[in-house]
């Protein structure tokens, strides 16, 4: 595939970084539309997204420096790269720090948490779709070997050097599976947002759907470097997927219980 889109002299422009950046921009603009749909102040939602984004990037860079200090000290310009590496540890760190920053800002600005989460559900899954498309181009998070006709074969040495992708081996395009799943989920959430019965429903469905998509696609992803839980029964992303499904289910159950109580009054 194409881990590098083009060069500016010695500066490489990675495909993963460009795709991730495009996903972020589209998600930001979609968040503005969703904010208007649920009746939130678009300026506050924009500020929340920017704050969460920069907090997530800063946290990922700190983790990257901590684990690759000697390499980055020898090549400090690498720190200026766009999404230089795709790794579940970096993704988890950015997601946790970004979510915490968004929640703190929302409480400070007195934004309703449930409605804010609803407005961000479709943009976040859209961003994930673009992130996985970038991973497909770069060879990051590559799939297991397959004989399927739609298999992807990586031949660029940079895919092996940057992401560890095996060269010349037919692999499941698991990143494409995940991208299609997240894109479909984003469209579903965007369609359901104006018709939601109460705040929190869209966010709950988003967590539930994202968890299911993550768990199923991990079955076709090479588990190397993703951790092992329960003697190899699960890897790190699958554990996160299970937690997402449980969290989404709890949110939807809480909303339904609240609706039943209000209906009985």
Contact 65, 90 (CB under 8 A): no
Task: Give kind and range of the element (H or E) at residue 14.
Answer: strand 11-14
Tokens found for residue 104: 């703190």
Radius of gyration (C-alpha) of the chain in whole angstroms: 19
CB atoms within 10 A of CB 193: 18
Contact 116, 45 (CB under 8 A): yes
C-alpha–C-alpha distance, residues 80 and 212, integer Å: 34
CB-neighbour burial class of residue 81 (10 A; exposed 0-12, middle 13-18, buried 19+): middle
* CA–centroid distance for 198 within its chain: 25
Contact 97, 55 (CB under 8 A): yes
Q: What is the pLDDT of residue 171?
A: 94
Which residues are paired to 154 by β-bridges?
167
Q: What is the pLDDT of residue 156?
A: 87
Domain that residue 208 falls in: 4-264
Q: What is the pLDDT of residue 146?
A: 92
Which of 208, 205, 197, 195 has its CA nearest to residue 260? 197
Q: What is the pLDDT of residue 35?
A: 94
- H helix intervals, the chain: 15-38, 42-67, 69-74, 88-108, 113-138, 157-163, 174-192, 201-218, 236-264
Which segments of the chain have a pLDDT < 70? Answer: 8-10, 67-89, 225-233, 255-265
Alpha-carbon dihedral of residues 79, 141, 214, 32, nearest 10 degrees?
A: 40
Q: What is the pLDDT of residue 261?
A: 46
C-alpha–C-alpha distance, residues 24 and 131, integer Å: 9
Q: What is the pLDDT of residue 60?
A: 78
Q: What is the number of domains present in the chain? A: 1
Q: What b-and-e string marks burial along 106-115, b requiring 16 or more CB atoms within 10 Å of the CB?
A: beeeebeebb
Q: What is the pLDDT of residue 52?
A: 92
Which of 95, 89, 86 has its CA nearest to residue 63? 89
Tokens found for residue 118: 């609803």
């Amino acid at each position: 595939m194409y881990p590098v889109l083009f060069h500016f002299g010695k500066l490489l422009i990675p495909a993963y970084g460009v795709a991730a950046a495009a996903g972020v921009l589209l998600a930001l603009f979609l968040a503005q539309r969703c904010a208007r749909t649920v009746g939130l102040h678009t300026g506050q939602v924009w500020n929340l997204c920017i704050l969460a984004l920069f907090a997530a990037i800063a946290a990922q860079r700190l983790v990257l420096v901590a684990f690759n200090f000697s390499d980055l000290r020898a090549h400090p310009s690498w720190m200026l790269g766009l999404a230089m590496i795709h790794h579940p540890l970096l993704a988890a760190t950015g997601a946790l720090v970004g979510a915490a920053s968004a929640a703190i800002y929302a409480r400070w600005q007195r934004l309703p948490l449930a409605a804010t989460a609803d407005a961000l559900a479709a943009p976040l899954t859209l961003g994930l779709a673009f992130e996985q498309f970038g991973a497909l181009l770069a060879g990051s998070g590559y799939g297991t070997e397959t004989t399927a006709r739609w298999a992807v074969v990586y031949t660029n040495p940079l895919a092996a050097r940057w992401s560890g992708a095996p060269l010349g081996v037919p692999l499941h395009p698991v990143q494409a599976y995940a991208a299609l799943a997240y894109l479909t989920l984003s469209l579903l959430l965007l369609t359901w947002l104006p018709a939601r019965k109460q705040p929190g429903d869209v966010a709950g469905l988003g967590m539930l759907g994202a968890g299911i998509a993550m768990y199923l696609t991990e079955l076709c992803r090479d588990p190397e470097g993703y951790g092992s839980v329960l003697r190899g029964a699960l890897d790190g992303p699958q554990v996160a997927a299970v937690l997402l499904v449980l969290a989404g289910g709890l949110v939807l159950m809480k909303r339904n219980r609240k609706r039943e109580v209000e209906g009985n009054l």
